[in-house]
Amino acid sequence: MKNLGYLLLLVLVFNVGCTRPDPKIAELEKHIEQLRLESESVGWTATVSIDGKTIFSEGFGLGNYEQQVPVYPGKTKFRIGSISKALTAAALGILIEEGKIDLDAPVQKYAPHFPEKKYEITTRQVAGHQAGIRHYNGDEFLSSKYYPTVNDGLEIFMNDTLLFEPGTAYRYSSYGFNLLSAVIEGASGDDFLHFMKTRVFDPLNMTETVAEHMDSLILFRAGYYDMAQGKVINAPYVDNSYKWAGGGFISTSEDLVRFGNAMLQNTLFSEEVKQQLVTPQKLKNGEKTEYGMGFFSGIDEYGRPYYGHGGGSVGGCSNLIIYPEEKMVVAVITNDTRAKVGKELHKIAEILLSKEQ
């Protein structure tokens, strides 16, 4: 009997040790690592879920180059850049759901600190990049100044002339989301960052997503890097407090996938409100844009509809892609300024969903 038990144990160990890896997962790992190497990136994190279940979550390279610390997809916090706009749009969605905001009222109803312009500006136009508010000028992207409040951040651009009559053109503007955060404060009666934490992050268990305060100790914060003449260098020092809503949050790939699944499952608000956020808006002439309110929408090269947002930061690149028909969420973040995280990531869905083995 002892010999039989020993033989059964050997068979069990042999079978476990010889389990064949999923070829699709192996191909996915190879694809992501190849993109990282081609981008000359220090570290990447990638998480994928289908039907609300995580099927892939890995770190690639290093989260901190100096200390040679690896990337942990559930802990390492990267700059997510403009994915912050999608998170901010979720806060807007909550206020829409609760009937606390009129998207077509002048923004001054909620943000009286913002001066009136030649033309009326609405929250819907601001959230859809149709308000005529400018984007960065010069080296503003490299700002190292700390802005204590949302209204302080408005000072950068609020006295500038609009680029066009609102609703007549589409012009991407991170500063527009500065204004949107002021609107959210006014409509909610709450500080913007507190509202984001208590109404968006905490309910979704996004415990690793925070506003990046440069004077604070933040556990598992990644280093931020760039390349110069083939060598890794530190990215320039920046303080993103001037644009919390448009590009100031840091997060993990696993937290972003939690957010993506909350969008699919209508956890924070109804399907009707979600469709307002993700459906591309139209200009006054009827021309359709690719942007709703905080979300791009499109069809990838494999014919799959998606919505989400990409992000570019000093020392960080990111992309969040949500495939509603497949109930699939893809999140990739890096800790360098230049990385291939655009259309190249559409192949992730193709690898995992293709019927070919």
The answer, yes or no, to whether residue 228 has pLDDT greater than 90, is no
Residue 43: closest CA among 213, 226, 206, 208: 226
Token reading at 223: 């280093």
The residue extents of the domains of the chain are 22-353
User: How many CB atoms within 10 Å of residue 248?
Assistant: 28
Residue 73: closest CA among 92, 89, 54, 88: 54
pLDDT at 236: 96
User: For 219-229, what is the mean pLDDT?
Assistant: 94
| Topology given in CATH for the domain delimited by 22-353 | Beta-lactamase (3.40.710)
pLDDT tens, position by position, 25-45: 999 999 999 999 999 999 999
pLDDT tens, position by position, 274-326: 999 999 999 999 999 999 999 999 999 999 999 999 999 999 999 999 999 99
Tell me the whole-structure pTM to 2 decimals. 0.93
pLDDT tens, position by position, 73-96: 999 999 999 999 999 999 999 999
pLDDT tens, position by position, 189-214: 999 999 999 999 999 999 999 999 99
Token reading at 247: 């590009």
pLDDT at 230: 84
The answer, yes or no, to whether residue 141 has pLDDT greater than 80, is yes
Q: What is the mean pLDDT of the chain?
A: 93
Where residue 238 falls (left for φ over 0; alpha for ψ -120 to 50; beta otherwise) is beta
The answer, yes or no, to whether residue 12 has pLDDT greater than 90, is no
